[in-house]
Amino acid sequence: MAVKIRLARRGRKKAAIYDIVVADARSPRDGKFIEKLGTYNPNSNPAFIDFNEDKAFQWVMNGAQPTDTVKAMLSYRGILFKKHLQVGVAKGAITQETADARFNEWKEAKEAKIEEKRQKLGSEKEAKRATALEAERKVKEARAEAIRQRDAEKAAANAPAEEATEAPAEGGEESTEEQA
């Protein structure tokens, strides 16, 4: 029986989330599986990959064949590198302590690289937010200035009209004073 480590789709339309499963190669994509190893969410940046690394390593060492996508995920998380080192230990090329030290060194470097990417994405998002806020503030100020100018023009237009209405009234008062 050929055993594959592959993805099983779940989630809603256009927002797929996948389970990483170990299944018989003859079973359908979303059908029966032997064991669920974890989940994969490609909708986030960076993609969220969460699976039991010990179980995945055990299945790979027992001969389970990962699909191309799962192989990339296993490589990304270091499972295939760990297998490579373990094969070297089995052949006697390196010791177990050396293999563990190399793997831990690689793992720390990879985690630092991932955290750097998260920080970069976060700072870019914050910069975009700040520029959008600044642009919105400028638009708000331009609108306020346009309203002030419009109000000033209305006041200026109303002022001569008020003076014109006041002048005859004053004249009328004078005429009544003169008559008295």
* pLDDT bracket for residue 174 (50, 70, 90): low
H or E element at residue 176: helix 96-179
15-29: per-residue pLDDT in tens? 999 999 999 888 888
For the domain spanning 3-94, the CATH number is 3.30.1320.10
Enter the pTM of the model.
0.62
* pLDDT of 176: 52
Residue spans per domain, the chain: 3-94, 97-161
> Dihedral sign, CA of 143, 145, 146, 148?
positive
Q: Which of 46, 45, 55 has its CA nearest to residue 20? A: 55
Residue 115 has pLDDT above 90, yes or no: no
What average pLDDT does range 173-177 have in this prediction? 52
What average pLDDT does range 113-134 have in this prediction? 86
Residue 93 has pLDDT above 60, yes or no: yes
CA distance 72 to 66: 9
> Dihedral sign, CA of 56, 60, 65, 68?
positive
21-58: per-residue pLDDT in tens? 999 888 888 888 899 999 999 998 778 888 888 999 99
